[in-house]
Structure formats: structure tokens, C-alpha cells
Homo-oligomer: A and B are copies of this chain.
């Protein structure tokens, strides 16, 4: 009887764990996800800005593991755990599905359900200010951006027209910076000459960040370079500022005591994420207290207290390393954790004397793109920006895409966008409404 590993979540962490367990004798894997695809989140902003199609950055999980007979995929929504009974419980979806399998038992469990948008207690803001975590989010934002220009073209009221052409991006992390840059590019280049009554390049794009600089986690020099590029593109950068109120049609920004009301129909949220609800559920069941952002504090070997057979990895977890540094919520960390958990499990199945005891994150650097041919990157001691950084960013991300086909499709699309500034994937479809409005 083979050892059954259940993995929850087909993101970077879960995918890495499943891959590490391919073709391992005596090990059987079931990968459970709510979606039938792996989403390449770093390029989600490209979908939100009409540069890429969803299918360019999402790839069917089944296809990834089609050749690996010891790995099965289940489309399902995990709503509960029976830690003592060692099984996970799936939602049944619509009522007429009692006959669907809704319990999956495991020998080892890897929970990698990631993170969700976080509104710091203002959950009602989500309706007005969509975040950017899922494909539906991206389509909602894409719809919001392009529909605003369409409405402005029909708008007879000057003030409303200005509000429709004003975009406020909250949060200047990688996503916020990328999104703000992309919107300015759309306004200045993509939509140029396409309207008869409005001037899209008059569109205002504000980037609001609570910290005193953009891309806070990066080196100060790079933050400076990024901010200069943003300003050069016409993005109004407001650092050391926070959103204090958010209503249909306007947002209140507070900076150094003074507060400012911006009339806008487009507030986009890139300010924060919190751990998936499963982290909280796990905390209740193990009598643990969640850490900042609802993250679950895992043991040094990524297991949960009292259950060495249960691992939690990725954005949903909190782990302080010996160097007093937190494991960051980035794709490479999640992937390294997934591979670590897989190694521990294999060591146990093989009955080895020693198993890996401590996870250590190896930082291979990070990068963010600000727009066409502009980016910042830090690799080890190395810091660079501008065109070389952008090429590095492009190369790395295209190469990281799961399939050969997506790579060429994405490259073709990019080459095209680069040469023509066009964004042909800018469909305003109903799904946007479902996702966002």
C-alpha cells in the first residue's frame, strides 16, 4: 500500500511539492485545487492591463502531470480538516452533488493554499477597489480600466469624465508599481488616437504607498530608480500616504496630516494580502495563534504543532529564520518550501534515520518591472535597473512559464505589444462583472 500525499493548492508551493514527488516509488499524490489550472501570478497584471490572455499565464494542472501516473488532480474546494482522522473535507458545490466524493484521506498532508486580498478591516472596500490575486480579479480590473475610457467617451458631464479617467492604485509593492505603469502606458500609447472626444493621455494615475518609498522591500537605490521611472511615465507617486476613506466615485488620501479627496471611478487595490482562510482554520484546530496577516506559524521543518505529518507552506505561513529574517511571501520561497516538505516526506517513507530538520530560504534575488523596458532587480549584492533589468525580468518570467507553447505565445504577444504598444487582449466581457462589479 503506497503512501498517500495530499497537496492542497496548485500554486507555486503546491506545484513544486507535487513535482518533487513525481515518479517516486511507494508514493501516491493527490493535488487538490479550486481551479483546474496553475496560475503564473507574477504576470497577472499583464492580464489586468490587456497585454496577455488569461490562458497565456494559466496552464491546466492535469496536463502538467499527465505523464506522472502517481499524481492525480482533483478539482475541489477544501472547507475543513479532520486532523486526527487524517482526511480533508471538500465542499460539494451545488446541492445536486451529494454523490461527489467529498472526503480525501491522507498519510501526509501539504497545505499550500496561499493568500487572499487584504483590506485591513475595511472588507467593504473590496467591492469598490478590486484586488489582483485571481484571473477573475484581473478580468474585473481589465474591464474597469477599459470600460472607464469607453464611458468617458459617452460622458457629457466634465467632472464625471475626469473621475472616469482618474486611476488610483493603492500600494506600491511590485504589483502596484507594475499596474500603475501599465495603466499609464495604456492611456498614453495603447489608446492614443482611438477616441474622438476624450484625450486618454490626460488620464491621471496616482500610486499611493504608506511607506516612505515605492517597492519598500527593495534596496533604497532601486526604490529611487523605480520612482523616477514612474514619474517619467507620468504616474503621480504619493509615498508616506494612506487611504482613509473609500466611496463610490471618490477616495480620501491622508499624507502628513493633510487629507486630499480624489474623485475617481477606478481604485485598484495592491496594498496587502492575508493568508488564506485555511490558515485560521488550522490555527483553531491546533490551538495556535496566527501571526501578522493571519499567517500560520509553522515549525522549523514546516509542520504544524502536534502533527508532524501535516505541512503548511507558502504565503499562508509565518516562519522566522535563524538569521532573524522572515521567509518572504514570494514564489521562490514557496517553491523551496514545497521541495523541502517533499524531501522530508520521502525520507520518512524510505525509513531513513535522518530527515531534513530546518528549512532555510535561499534568496536568489527579486525584481519588479515598471513598464515598457524599465525594471529594477537585485541579485545577491548586485543591484541594477532600466533596460538590462527589464530584459532580465522578461527572460526570467517568460522562461518560468510552465509550457513551451505559452512561452512562444507570450513572446509573440510581447514582441507585438512592444512594437505596436497594442493591447489586443482588452476584451470587456461579462466575466469581469462576475469577477468584480
Are A99 and B156 closer than 8 Å at their CB atoms?
yes
| Most chain B CB neighbours (cut-off 10 Å) among A146, A153, A427 | A427
Contacts of A100 in B (CB 8 A): 151, 154-156
User: In the complex, which of the residues B36, B90, B426, B435 contacts A430, with contact meaning CB atoms closer than 8 Å?
Assistant: B435
A96 to B250, CA, bound (A): 14
Is A361 engaged at the interface, CB distance under 8 Å to the other chain?
no
Known: A101-B155, A408-B412, A409-B409. A62 touches B430 (CB 8 A): no
How far does the Cβ of A99 sit from chain B's closest Cβ, in whole Å?
4
CB closest residue in chain B, given A28:
B196
Are A101 and B424 closer than 8 Å at their CB atoms?
no
Is A395 engaged at the interface, CB distance under 8 Å to the other chain?
no
Contacts of A191 in B (CB 8 A): 62
Residues of A in contact (CB 8 Å), total 68
Are A430 and B424 closer than 8 Å at their CB atoms?
no
Is A87 engaged at the interface, CB distance under 8 Å to the other chain?
no
Are B435 and A74 closer than 8 Å at their CB atoms?
no
Are A72 and B139 closer than 8 Å at their CB atoms?
no
**The 7 nearest A-B residue pairs measured at CB:** A431-B431, A434-B434, A99-B157, A55-B425, A53-B53, A62-B194, A75-B150
Are A196 and B37 closer than 8 Å at their CB atoms?
no
CB closest residue in chain B, given A98:
B157
Known: A146-B36, A156-B99. A429 touches B135 (CB 8 A): yes
Is A26 engaged at the interface, CB distance under 8 Å to the other chain?
no
Contacts of A76 in B (CB 8 A): 154
A424 to B64, CA, bound (A): 11
User: In the complex, which of the residues B69, B72, B150, B160 contacts A99, with contact meaning CB atoms closer than 8 Å?
Assistant: B160
Are B59 and A56 closer than 8 Å at their CB atoms?
no
Question: Interface 1/0s, chain A 408-431, versus B by CB < 8 A?
Answer: 110011001000101011111111
Are B430 and A74 closer than 8 Å at their CB atoms?
no
Which residues of chain A (391-411) have a CB below 8 Å from chain B?
403, 405-406, 408-409
Are A422 and B435 closer than 8 Å at their CB atoms?
no
A76 to B311, CA, bound (A): 52
Contacts of A194 in B (CB 8 A): 60, 62-63, 66, 73
